[in-house]
C-alpha cells in the first residue's frame, strides 16, 4: 500500500472529524488533539478535570461525529460490575422451557463514555479491566467478545474532591493516555458562555464510519519507526524506573515505580499517530517528545518523598527529557 496516498485520505477524514468537534466544543484545542491521537492509536483515554469543563460534552461530540454504537455509563458508588458488563437472565421459550441468556451490558459498544469513573467503588472499576485489555468480558465462565472498534473514554474528577476513589494502578496502565483538562482562559470562557447561552447549540454530523476508522487505525500501525527511536523510547521508560541502572536522578528521588512495557508501547504507538496528524509518514524524535506526558504521567507512582513534596509526574517527565540524549554517546561517536 502507498503510505503517501493513504495519508491524503487520512488527513481529509481528520479535518472533517475535527471540524465537527469544533462546531460544538469551544477551546480545548490541546485536549481535542490528544483525544484524536489516542483514538487513532487504538487506545483508551482518561480525562481528568474539575466538573463543568466540558469533558462529557467532548466525548459525546466525538461519538456523535462517528457512525458507531455509543454507550454512556454513569459511575456512582452503588453501580455494580454486572451493570457494566451485563449478566445472564432467565428467559422462557415458546414451549415454556426456561434457560439462561446473556444480556449484554453497556460496555458492548464502540465508543464507551465511562463518566466520573472514580466515583464508583474499586470492585466496579475493576470490571472494566478485562474489557479494556482483552476487548471481551467473561460472565459465568463464558467469554463474550466486543466488536471493534472499541474505545473507552473515561472522565474523572481530581482525586482530592469529595466522594472519589483512586483508580487501581493496574487499571490506570490500561489507558493509553491520561489527558488533563484545564480551566479556560478569559477569552475562551467568554466564547463558551456566548455559545451555550444562545437559542440553539449546534449538533455534530457523523462524518466517519467504523470501517473508515479501522482503516485509519491500520494506517497508524503501518507507519515505520526507525530502530534508534524505538531504542530511545525504551531508554526513556527505563529512565523512569527508580531501580534500574539507567534511572534519572528525579526518578530515583521521587518514584516508587516507573513506567513499564505498556508505557514504551504507548510512546511508540502514539508517536505514530502524532506523526500522521502532522502530515508525515515517519516518526521523529519530536513526536516522542510530544506524546511523553499524556502517555506516561499516569504510569508514574510517587514514593513517600514524592508525595510529601507534591511533585507532579509531568515535572519528572520534563527532567527525563532534559537529561536523556536522543542518541547514546557511543552511537554519536560512531557517527562523528
Confidence at residue 328, expressed as pLDDT on a 0 to 100 scale: 57
> 146-166 as b/e, with b when 16 or more CB fall inside 10 Å?
beebbbbbbbbbeeeeeebbe
Q: Give 171's Cβ-side CA count (13 Å radius).
A: 19
**Superfamily of segment(s) 223-325:** Magnesium chelatase subunit I, C-Terminal domain (1.10.8.80)
pLDDT score for 162? 62
**43, exposed or middle or buried, with CB in 10 Å at 0-12, 13-18, 19+?**
buried
Question: For the domain 1-80+108-222, what is the CATH superfamily, name and number?
Answer: P-loop containing nucleotide triphosphate hydrolases (3.40.50.300)
Q: Are 176 and 43 in contact (CB under 8 A)?
A: yes
Domain ranges of the chain: 1-80+108-222, 223-325
Q: What is the pLDDT of residue 333?
A: 37
Longest Cα pair distance anywhere in the chain, in angstroms?
83
Calpha distance 153→112 (Å, rounded): 6
Burial bucket for residue 173 (CB in 10 Å: 0-12, 13-18, 19+):
buried
pTM of the full structure: 0.88
What's the CA gap between 15 and 261, in Å, rounded? 32
pLDDT along the chain (336 residues), means of 10: 79 91 86 94 91 84 90 90 88 80 90 89 81 86 90 82 73 91 87 80 87 94 94 95 90 93 96 95 95 95 91 93 72 36
Torsion, Cα of 208, 172, 112, 267 (10° steps) = 10
Contact 112, 69 (CB under 8 A): no
Amino acid at each position: 500500500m502507498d503510505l503517501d496516498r493513504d495519508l491524503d485520505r487520512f488527513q481529509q477524514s481528520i479535518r472533517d472529524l475535527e471540524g465537527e468537534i469544533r462546531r460544538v466544543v469551544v477551546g480545548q484545542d490541546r485536549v481535542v488533539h490528544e483525544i484524536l491521537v489516542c483514538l487513532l492509536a487504538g487506545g483508551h483515554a482518561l480525562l481528568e478535570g474539575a466538573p463543568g469543563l466540558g469533558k462529557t460534552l467532548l466525548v459525546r461530540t466525538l461519538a456523535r461525529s462517528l457512525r458507531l454504537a455509543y454507550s454512556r455509563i454513569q459511575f456512582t458508588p452503588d453501580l455494580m460490575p454486572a451493570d457494566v458488563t451485563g449478566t445472564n437472565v432467565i428467559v422462557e421459550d415458546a414451549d415454556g422451557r426456561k434457560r439462561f441468556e446473556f444480556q449484554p451490558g453497556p460496555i458492548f459498544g464502540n465508543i464507551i463514555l465511562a463518566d466520573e469513573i472514580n466515583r464508583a467503588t474499586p470492585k466496579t472499576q475493576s470490571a472494566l479491566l478485562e474489557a479494556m485489555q482483552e476487548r471481551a468480558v467473561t460472565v459465568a465462565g463464558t467469554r463474550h467478545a466486543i466488536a471493534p472498534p472499541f474505545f473507552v473514554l473515561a472522565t474523572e474528577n481530581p482525586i482530592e474532591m469529595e466522594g472519589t476513589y483512586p483508580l487501581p494502578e493496574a487499571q490506570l496502565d490500561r489507558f493509553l493516555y491520561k489527558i488533563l483538562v484545564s480551566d479556560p482562559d478569559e477569552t475562551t470562557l467568554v466564547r463558551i458562555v456566548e455559545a451555550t447561552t444562545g437559542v440553539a447549540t449546534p449538533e455534530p454530523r457523523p462524518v466517519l464510519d467504523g470501517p473508515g476508522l479501522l482503516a485509519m487505525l491500520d494506517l497508524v500501525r503501518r507507519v515505520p519507526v526507525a530502530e534508534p527511536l524505538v531504542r530511545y523510547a525504551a531508554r526513556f521508560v527505563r529512565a523512569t524506573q527508580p531501580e534500574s541502572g539507567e534511572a534519572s536522578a528525579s526518578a530515583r528521588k521521587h518514584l516508587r515505580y516507573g513506567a513499564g512495557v505498556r508505557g514504551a508501547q504507548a510512546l511508540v504507538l502514539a508517536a505514530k499517530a502524532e506523526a500522521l496528524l502532522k502530515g508525515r509518514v515517519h516518526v521523529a524524535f519530536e513526536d516522542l517528545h510530544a506524546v511523553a506526558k499524556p502517555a506516561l504521567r499516569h504510569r508514574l507512582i510517587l514514593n513517600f518523598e514524592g508525595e510529601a513534596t507534591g511533585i507532579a509526574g509531568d515535572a519528572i517527565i520534563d527532567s527525563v527529557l532534559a537529561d536523556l540524549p536522543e542518541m547514546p554517546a557511543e552511537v554519536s561517536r560512531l557517527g562523528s
